[in-house]
């Protein structure tokens, strides 16, 4: 019997598939926005706006911040002055050391966004990978991983982050990397659990069995079949984790375990300094960095909760639209007894 060789996809076809996948992804992102309604939609939209504003601030920090995060004097060498009230050149005032609060808030946004983004990327990667492997391979590897992850999960997040940061400080020194790695350690178990659970249930599906019967190797099965399934559970958790990670980072900074002040601006660190200011009634050094944290975390949480309400079938609410019943037309008259 003659075998027919399937022609390799021509360049136009490959181009088309690339574009349609992009379109599919975009449509997937747009779907929750279109499907949500009521409170969920409000949360989703408001959250997205807030988060976007913060991210833009972070990305364009050098353009937005009037001064550097470590700057105590202007271009002419003249010092700013300590504890200046908000107004004039310093719309948020200055700290006890003469640093411009507004600039520090803006630079702090950059620090927060980049550290958390990196950390979540790492933990997502590691967690998903380990989760799929554990779920798929099973047996002793699975048991050991589950045991370890559960133990890590039960430890208080901040405590774990502090301990890891404390330890890493010996190796790597304080700074962005330490903070990012500490936060990674905290969230890996989350992704691991969710992904492993999804993998375990997906593994039993008949289409996986069929794939195996056709001779698909484990990597193919994990990559092509299982990954798709588990991807759906991730967005909600990722946004909520991001919110939590911002808080953990700030907590680390507050305790002196995050970024060193000379390396970058960090909101938690600023708040630590502001506590002593509170006794003297100086409010602007703490209020603004604090508000920044609140807004970013609020934005991320709103997105996460909004997504959850829209996509989680247990919580979804059918949209109620008013019904107007037309009066009876002669075509449909009923004879009443």
Partner 1 sequence: MWWHVLRKAGVGLSTRTSGSLRTYLVTRLLLFIPNVLVILTIVFILMRVAPGDPVSVALGGQRPPEQIAMLREAAGYDRPIIVQYWEYIRGVLTFDLGETIVDSRDITEILITNGGATLTLTFAAVLVALVIGVPLGLVAGRRRDTPLDAGLRVFSILTYAAPVFFLGLLLQLAFGVRGLGWLPTSSQANAIMQARVSDVTNIFLVDALLAGDTEAFVDGLEHLVLPALTLGLLLSGVFMRIIRVNLVQTLRGDYVEAVRARGVSERRVVIHHAFRNAMVPFVTVLGLQIALLLGGAILTEQTFNWPGIGAQLVRYLGSRDYVAVQGIVTFFALAVVTVSLLIDIINALIDPRVRY
Partner 2 sequence: MTEAVLSARDLRVWYGTESGPVRAVDGVSFDVHPGETLGLVGESGCGKTTLGRGLLGLLPRGAKVAGEVRYRDTNLVGLRPRELQALRGPHLGMIFQEPLTRLNPLLRISDHFEETLRAHEPELSSEDARHRALEALRGMGIPPTRYSAYPHEFSGGMRQRIMMALALVLRPSFVVADEPTTALDVLVEAQIIRILADLRRNFDTALLFITHNLGIVAEACDRVAVMYAGRIVEQGPVREVFARPQHPYTRELLRSTISLSTTGLHYIPGAPPDLVDPPSGCRFHPRCPEAMKVCRERFPQPMDVGEQRVECWLHGPDELIPYGGREPLIREEITVADEA
Least Cβ distance, residue 328 to partner 2 (angstroms):
8
**d(Cα 230, Cα 202) in Å, to the nearest integer?**
8
Binding segment (CB under 8 A) for partner 2, from list 75-83, 280-288, 302-310, 321-329: 321-329
Q: Which of 2, 171, 213, 318 binds partner 2 (CB under 8 A)?
A: 318
Residues 6+ apart with CB under 8 A from 47: 298, 299, 300, 301, 302, 303, 304, 305, 306
Least Cβ distance, residue 336 to partner 2 (angstroms):
5
In 3D space, the residue among 118, 111, 119, 117 whose CA is nearest the CA of residue 269 turns out to be 111
Least Cβ distance, residue 257 to partner 2 (angstroms):
45
User: By CB under 8 A, is residue 272 in contact with partner 1?
Assistant: yes
Residue 67 neighbours by CB distance under 10 Å: 21
11 binds, among partner 1, partner 2, none (CB under 5 to 8 A by kind): none
Are the CB atoms for 57 and 50 separated by under 8 Å?
no
Are the CB atoms for 90 and 122 separated by under 8 Å?
no
User: By CB under 8 A, is residue 335 in contact with partner 2?
Assistant: yes
User: By CB under 8 A, is residue 322 in contact with partner 2?
Assistant: yes
User: By CB under 8 A, is residue 84 in contact with partner 1?
Assistant: no
Least Cβ distance, residue 163 to partner 1 (angstroms):
6
Nearer to partner 2, 78 or 333 (CB): 333
* Planar angle of CA 117, 122, 126, nearest 5 degrees: 150
User: By CB under 8 A, is residue 321 in contact with partner 2?
Assistant: yes
Q: Which of 59, 126, 167, 211 binds partner 1 (CB under 8 A)?
A: 167
Are the CB atoms for 162 and 252 separated by under 8 Å?
yes
336 binds, among partner 2, partner 1, none (CB under 5 to 8 A by kind): partner 2
Binding segment (CB under 8 A) for partner 1, from list 22-30, 158-166, 219-227, 325-333: 158-166
**d(Cα 320, Cα 2) in Å, to the nearest integer?**
60
Axis-axis angle for helices 234-254, 157-172 (nearest 10): 70
Positive/negative CA dihedral, 26, 28, 29, 33: positive
Q: Which of 128, 157, 179, 311 binds partner 1 (CB under 8 A)?
A: 157
157 binds, among partner 2, partner 1, none (CB under 5 to 8 A by kind): partner 1
Q: Which of 96, 126, 129, 158 binds partner 1 (CB under 8 A)?
A: 158
Are the CB atoms for 267 and 58 separated by under 8 Å?
no
**d(Cα 150, Cα 193) in Å, to the nearest integer?**
8
In eight-state DSSP terms, residue 4 is P
User: By CB under 8 A, is residue 314 in contact with partner 2?
Assistant: no
The stretches of the chain forming alpha helices (DSSP H) are 11-35, 38-59, 61-64, 101-137, 139-154, 157-172, 176-203, 206-213, 218-220, 227-231, 234-254, 267-279, 284-311
User: By CB under 8 A, is residue 320 in contact with partner 2?
Assistant: yes
User: By CB under 8 A, is residue 290 in contact with partner 1?
Assistant: yes
Q: Which of 3, 77, 78, 170 binds partner 1 (CB under 8 A)?
A: 170
Residues of span 231-270 touching partner 1 by CB under 8 A: 243, 247, 250-251, 254-257, 268
The residue ranges that bind partner 1 (CB under 8 A) are: 38-39, 42-43, 147-148, 150-152, 154-159, 162-164, 166-167, 170-171, 243, 247, 250-251, 254-257, 268, 271-272, 274-275, 278-281, 283, 286-287, 290, 293-295, 297-298, 301-302, 305, 314-315, 317
The residue ranges that bind partner 2 (CB under 8 A) are: 318-325, 328, 331-332, 334-337
């Amino acid at each position: 019997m003659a075998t027919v060789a399937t022609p390799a996809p021509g360049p136009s076809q490959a181009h088309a598939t690339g574009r349609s996948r992009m379109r599919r992804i975009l449509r997937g992102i747009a779907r929750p926005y279109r499907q949500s309604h009521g409170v969920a939609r409000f949360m989703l939209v408001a959250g997205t706006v807030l988060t976007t504003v913060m991210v833009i601030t972070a990305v364009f920090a050098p353009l937005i911040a009037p001064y550097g995060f470590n700057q105590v004097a202007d271009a002419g060498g003249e010092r700013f002055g300590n504890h200046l009230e908000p107004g004039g050149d310093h719309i948020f005032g200055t700290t006890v050391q003469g640093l411009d609060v507004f600039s520090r808030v803006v630079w702090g946004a950059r620090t927060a966004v980049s550290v958390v983004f990196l950390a979540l990327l790492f933990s997502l990667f590691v967690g998903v990978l380990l989760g799929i492997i554990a779920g798929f391979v099973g047996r002793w590897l699975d048991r050991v991983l589950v045991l370890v992850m559960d133990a890590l999960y039960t430890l208080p997040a901040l405590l774990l982050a502090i301990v890891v940061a404390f330890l890493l400080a010996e190796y790597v020194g304080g700074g962005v990397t330490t903070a990012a790695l500490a936060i990674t350690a905290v969230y890996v178990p989350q992704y691991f659990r969710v992904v492993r659970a999804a993998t375990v249930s997906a593994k039993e599906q008949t289409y996986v069995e069929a794939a195996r019967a056709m001779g698909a190797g484990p990597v193919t099965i994990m990559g092509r079949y299982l990954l798709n399934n588990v991807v759906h559970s991730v967005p909600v958790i990722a946004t909520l984790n991001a919110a939590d990670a911002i808080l953990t980072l700030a907590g680390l900074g507050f305790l002196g375990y995050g970024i060193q002040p000379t390396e970058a601006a960090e909101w938690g660190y600023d708040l630590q300094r502001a506590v002593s200011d509170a006794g003297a009634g100086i409010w602007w050094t703490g209020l603004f960095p604090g508000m920044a944290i609140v807004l970013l975390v609020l934005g991320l949480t709103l997105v996460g909760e909004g997504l959850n309400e829209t996509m989680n079938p247990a919580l979804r609410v059918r949209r109620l639209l008013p019904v107007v019943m037309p009066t009876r037309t002669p075509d449909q008259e009923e004879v009443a007894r």
